[in-house]
Amino acid sequence: MAIPQHRETATIPCPYCERETTVSVPDEDVELEVRRSVALYGDHTTVECSADHEFWVYFC
């Protein structure tokens, strides 16, 4: 049986409409950088707000 891992979350504003969205983060000490476009490198996740705007959050 798999043991569920506790994941940290953070609330960030959408860069298009400012609606708050919750994302999982790999570590509580990580800095988040929100971008409207994808970069070529770096740990990131793709996020979609409740208004269907897609953006990327990078973990620095």
pLDDT at residue 41, as a whole number: 81
Mean pLDDT to the nearest integer, 30-40? 87
Question: Which pLDDT score is estimated for 13?
Answer: 96
From 8-12, 25-29, 47-51, the region with the lowest mean pLDDT: 25-29
**Is the pLDDT confidence value at 52 over 90?**
yes
The burial of 48, by beta-carbon neighbours within 10 Å (0-12 exposed, 13-18 middle, 19 or more buried), is given as exposed
pTM of the model: 0.77
pLDDT score for 4? 54
Mean pLDDT score, 30-58: 90
CA distance 17 to 34: 13
Calpha distance 34→45 (Å, rounded)? 10
Count, in order, helices (H) and strands (E) of the chain.
0, 5
